[in-house]
Amino acid sequence: MRVLGIETSCDETGIAIYDDQNGLLAHSLYSQVKLHADYGGVVPELASRDHVRKIVPLINQTIAQAGLNADDIDAVAYTKGPGLIGAVLVGACVGRSLAFAWGKPALGVHHMEGHLLAPMLEETPPEFPFVALLVSGGHTQLVAVRGIGDYELLGESVDDAAGEAFDKTAKLLGLDYPGGPLLAKMAEKGNSGRFRFPRPMTDRPGLDFSFSGLKTFAANTITANKDDSDPEQTQADIALAFEEAVVDTLAIKCKRALKQTGYQRLVIAGGVSANRRLRAGLEALMKDLGGQVYYPRTEFCTDNGAMIAFAGLQRLKAGEREGLEVQGKPRWPLTELAPL
């Protein structure tokens, strides 16, 4: 089965074709970063309009890249949610319409299930069961994964997601949007130990997260050191202290989740999973625990069509289908999905 995957949940238009026999045949991605940079964040209406402009040319480009035509596509999978509802509906309307026009089945895919299964695109995919850390601009969740759709939410952020905290702290440091990767780059020049940020909610039991306080702590630290004689170095030191705090907090909670479940495998996925310090920290954790960590290649950490095509394929092969109605869900708990 060959599945065309369409991802439009936020500010990236991702298109891919996945074949259950030959793997990923082609994928294309268009980022709207430059469009939103002047506003310091994603403007939902602008995002939706840009998806409308880019989606059909990208679909044609991806099909041609794979050396196929519409008749060679067996099904269409598209992001149904969660996400910016206007952006989601662009992909959902186009995906469902194409499937109807081609006489092929269609399926709306859960965006976070796509991220969770993205490591399955690699040559050595993880086996079930495992603990998944889903960490992005909109979500920070720990999930016990016993199989596709068999999910138990262990903990999540009660306020800002980790990626959101990265971007907000980067903005406080005067960095452009999206600030998370720029903050991580700045942190590479920082001196460890000069500043120490709190590790929120690690001094109490449980697996929930809270990162909004780190942003406030960063703001206060920046203000207190605004007259430093070497402002660039001070900013780098603050960036490093912030990054270390986030990574340590995530590692502590992952260790608790692994102990609670008894699992030996950890998956990290979502945009923040591309962070080098986070990968190194979790690799060290799993080495100490005698387990193994898995993550997608960098290009599949952020939103992309390949993860939607792959996730959709699994459910389409199990017989799931979408009706003729077009639906989008701005909020959609992962635990509402049916196990396969």
Q: What is the mean pLDDT of residues 254-274?
A: 97
Backbone angles phi, psi at 82, to 5 degrees: -75, 165
206 is in an annotated binding site: no
Question: Smallest Cα–Cα separation from 24: which of 268, 323, 296?
Answer: 296
CA distances from 104 to 23, 76, 93, 308, 320 (A): 20, 7, 15, 17, 13
Backbone angles phi, psi at 80, to 5 degrees: -100, -20
First to last CA, the chain: 17
pLDDT digit string, tens, across residues 199-215: 999 999 999 999 999 99
Quickly state the pLDDT bin for 114 (edges 50, 70, 90).
very high
pLDDT, averaged across the chain: 97
285 is in an annotated binding site: no
303 is in an annotated binding site: yes
pLDDT of residue 294: 98
Does the structure show a pLDDT above 90 at 159?
yes
pLDDT of residue 34: 94
Q: Which residues have a Cβ under 8 Å from the Cβ of 40 and sit 6 or more positions away?
A: 171, 177
pTM of the model: 0.96
pLDDT of residue 137: 87
180 is in an annotated binding site: yes
pLDDT digit string, tens, across residues 18-63: 999 999 999 999 999 999 999 989 999 999 999 999 999 999 999 9
138 is in an annotated binding site: yes
Q: Which amino acid belongs to residue 189?
A: K
Q: What is the mean pLDDT of residues 113-132?
A: 97
192 is in an annotated binding site: no
Contact 285, 261 (CB under 8 A): no
Q: What is the mean pLDDT of residues 234-246?
A: 98
Question: Smallest Cα–Cα separation from 253: which of 277, 218, 282, 216?
Answer: 282
136 is in an annotated binding site: yes
pLDDT digit string, tens, across residues 277-292: 999 999 999 999 999 9
Beta-strand (E) ranges in 82-206?
106-110, 130-135, 140-147, 150-156
137 is in an annotated binding site: yes
Q: What is the mean pLDDT of residues 139-159?
A: 97
pLDDT digit string, tens, across residues 289-305: 999 999 999 999 999 99
Quickly state the pLDDT bin for 171 (edges 50, 70, 90).
very high
pLDDT digit string, tens, across residues 124-147: 999 999 999 999 988 999 999 999
* Percent with pLDDT over 70 in the chain: 100
Rounded to whole angstroms, how far apart are CA atoms 220 and 14? 38
